[in-house]
Amino acid sequence: MVNDPINPIARNILQFGVKRFLASTPNMMTLMRYEPMRFTAKVPAGKSGKLVCTHPPIVYLRIAPMNPPSPISKSSITCELAFSFYTDCGRNLLGNDFILWFLIRVVKTVHTIFHSDSRSLSELDVGEVHLVVTSPPYPMIEMWDSIFQLMNPDIDLTLPSDAFELMHMELDKVWEEIDRVLIDGGIVCINIGNATRSLNGSFRMYPSNVRITQKFIELGYSVLPEIIWRKQSTAPNKFMGSGMLPPNAYVTQEHEYILIFRKGELREDLEDKKQIRRSSAYFWEERNMWFSDLWNLVGTQQSLEKGGRKRSAAYPFELVYRLIQMFSVKGDIVLDPFVGTGTTSLASIASARSSIGVELDQDIIGLTIDRLLSSIPKLQQTRESRLKNHSIFVSDRISKGKVVKYHNEHIDSPVVTKQEKELTLEKVVGLELLQDSNPCMLSASYE
């Protein structure tokens, strides 16, 4: 690599290191490593080109052919780029004559948790977020009544229909803020359950899935196919009401919804992230399971006796991990406006995405940060489980005489489709607390 002057962004990383650089430039959330690959170039003999990232932040480095063939014309040349820098760009233009691709590996991600009210996401910029995954307080579920009544003291449970609507009007303020900070083409995934409850001597269901969908249609979003999360239950009673006598028993709800919405048309920025998309691929057998509209997953209930709330109903890690893999690419920013115990942050770390969480209960945030900082074994196990499950799938497929046509060199494994050849699974090797005040920030490092 030629010793050309390096622009200020690159110099800051070299001189001050990642931690100080992150603190001074909080919007640069993900550190990528670009590893050299072969490329075809057209350039006069003996010349070198300037690498220009086409999306901010721009980093200029001069790279020269190593042992170039003679003459250099439409020949395969190996270039070396021994440098790591911040960027969200997967395609790089070398002058006007080259298109150069690098294998992209995520080196660091940043995870921020704000102690704030998500009805106002003033800390976030317009279009800063790529994906939203969240599970809000459920309207008309008794454990959340006091939270909603703090938001709006006019909520009166003696008027159930009015109370249901007023609770959702508070959630509407969050959805409107999400719309502001979400990139065009970004996806919103909301886990919600419908409440069933007796009030004023009358039993009924309160359909939050319908009410939230109506709001996102009003905001101009496309409604995508939903997922039914069937929560495996060990409860012996599958009915409510009058025992064995018809007709006044009620069906027990054993499922919740994962509502999925897209803002506008498909993401245009992905056109410049083709290599990132390739490295973010999932296995063929995972696609067939994840993109089913029925998921059977065990729910999670976490004790928060040391925090402000006595308990927290949380969706399982596997649920949010799948959604992040399905609807974002590495280096994206995932937002959870009701981050709670940090399951979305944890899954983002495992997925090599950066994350932003918002939590109103300050007592929970400290517990969440402690949980994240102690999660390396869990995160590494997630990666190893995916590799092990894929190995079992491949062995079973081959034993049945079915073709496994391609090979992924990065994980040294056969794969079914060409799109899986560039799939990489980063290994989390470090977690570091960057800031323990509001907002709390930590970084994850990978190899």
Kindly indicate the confidence band of residue 122, based on its pLDDT and cuts at 50, 70 and 90. very high
Query: Which pLDDT belongs to residue 241?
Result: 64
Average pLDDT over residues 286-299: 94
**Which residue has better confidence, 7 or 172?**
172
Query: Which pLDDT belongs to residue 18?
Result: 31
Residue 42, CB-side half-sphere exposure with 13 Å CA sphere: 4
Query: Which pLDDT belongs to residue 57?
Result: 28
Average pLDDT over residues 294-312: 63
- Residue 102 in contact with residue 21, Cβ under 8 Å? no
Q: What is the mean pLDDT of the chain?
A: 78
Q: In angstroms, how far is the first alpha carbon of the chain from the final one?
A: 23
Average pLDDT over residues 141-150: 94
The candidate with the shortest Cα–Cα distance to 389, out of 283, 300, 301, is 283
In the chain, ranges of CATH 3.40.50.150 domains = 109-381+428-442
**Which residue has better confidence, 248 or 46?**
248
Query: Which pLDDT belongs to residue 322?
Result: 98
Residue 9, CB-side half-sphere exposure with 13 Å CA sphere: 15
Average pLDDT over residues 324-330: 96
Neighbours of 309 (CB within 10 A): 16
The candidate with the shortest Cα–Cα distance to 35, out of 119, 125, 102, is 102
Query: Which pLDDT belongs to residue 7?
Result: 36
Residues whose CB falls within 8 Å of the CB of residue 18, separated by 6 or more in sequence, listed in order:
31, 108, 443
Residue 70, CB-side half-sphere exposure with 13 Å CA sphere: 2
Query: Which pLDDT belongs to residue 77?
Result: 25
Kindly indicate the confidence band of residue 244, based on its pLDDT and cuts at 50, 70 and 90. confident
Segment 154-194, tens digit of pLDDT: 999 999 999 999 999 999 999 999 999 999 999 999 999 99
**Which residue has better confidence, 72 or 129?**
129
CATH number at 109-381+428-442: 3.40.50.150
Q: What is the pTM of this model?
A: 0.79
**Which residue has better confidence, 160 or 13?**
160
Least confident of 11-20, 177-186, 217-226: 11-20
Segment 345-375, tens digit of pLDDT: 999 999 999 999 999 999 999 999 999 999 9
DSSP state of 110: E
Question: At 312, is the secondary structure helix, strand, or coil?
Answer: strand
